[in-house]
Structure 1
């Protein structure tokens, strides 16, 4: 399970980028992370590998898309900004290209309710947004539509997005989505996966409201 979020948000983002590598969810310079911060957000810079990333490299941005930092923000800053602006309950966004998620995204396939863990997505499917070029407004619009009433989605011919109220939960969700995609891929080779009914997933969604990683109480609190 992803580790607890450090107190400093920039340090937390650096740790998250390295954790994406260690969990096998990302490689090289792929993947990016953002955290809501003040009236704007913090996002990873463009083109810097996780092992070379430092807290001072994290780019603070305004919700109007401007920044005053020597490094350029991630090329995907637009959908990070738009998700955070549209969804006030979301505090962190993780984007990566994990193998199984990306394989289904390459096929343009959504993930059905083949396991009760689909409830983590907020509904009976993990949708796949239609293809749009990276970094574009079209991609942002497609991602927002796929995330409607959902916490995660696939991006056709691209990768995946996972969100959460905080960064540890967004990282946890990213790993769970990749695990579910891997299980579904194997199940398709074994036979015909059984899809759970919507009402069962509805019950699971209610139970998931108290599920997932939680912040450890501070001593003396």
Structure 2
């Protein structure tokens, strides 16, 4: 993983980007990343445009932390995701409008579009409702994320997780787009047709190399920048 200052910078910038991208408002949402013997997480109650690197909280796996700045009230599911999933290094939580609307309907997002495979499977599950910040919610989230990199939380919002903060944030945008498409389809009054498991498995296989440039091309991009 990167050094601590760089990761703190990524958390602050990602919080600001959530607002710029329109997938979060106010002080809702939070971001975390694996670091050292625990993780770094955005603070509770501090407006994103006022947040500094020093406001980012370093937490241990036992939930202890140093300093006077309190971590996000949702630290439990951030901690439990990172502990349970060594394949994931960063977690992003938003209250994006369309994904939250689907969560209010208590629905999974089905395979209406092949890009759902970016979240790891044929559905984006909706975890049953539990009060925010609770261990019960964290437990529900861990179950909903089995074999996945994204889930909804009923009457709450969306969680995405990936190998880095930028990848987790990009996935949050994808989930919001899928949720908007799903709601548009539901407006027709009928359940939309969905891709089957075989079709999604084919996409998952393609995604293993999708969007990857050759080392020579990447070196040319670095030299041009």
Q: Per the shorter chain, which TM-score range? A: over 0.9
The CA distance in 1 between the partners of 2:209 and 2:24, in whole Å, is: 28
Larger radius of gyration: 2
Q: Contact between 1:172 and 1:213, CA under 8 Å: does it hold in 2?
A: no
Counterpart of 2:18? 20
Counterpart of 1:208? 207
Q: 1:138 aligns with which of 136, 140, 157?
A: 136
- 1:198 maps onto 2:197 in alignment: yes
Counterpart of 1:51? 49
Distance 1:213 1:132, change over 3 A: farther
Counterpart of 1:183? 181
Structure 1 gaps, min length 5: 1-5
The CA distance in 1 between the partners of 2:35 and 2:211, in whole Å, is: 23
Counterpart of 1:96? 94
Structure 2 gaps, min length 5: none
The CA distance in 2 between the partners of 1:211 and 1:83, in whole Å, is: 26
The CA distance in 1 between the partners of 2:130 and 2:81, in whole Å, is: 16
Taking structure 1 as the reference length, the TM-score comes to 0.92
Taking structure 2 as the reference length, the TM-score comes to 0.91
Q: 2:161 aligns with which of 146, 158, 163?
A: 163
Counterpart of 1:3? none
> How many residues matched?
214
> SS state of the match for residue 8, structure 1?
helix
Q: State the Cα distance separating 1:205 from its structure 2 match.
A: 1.0
Q: Which digits, 9 at most, give the CA deviation of each residue in 1:49-74, with x for residues without a partner?
A: 11111111000000111101210000
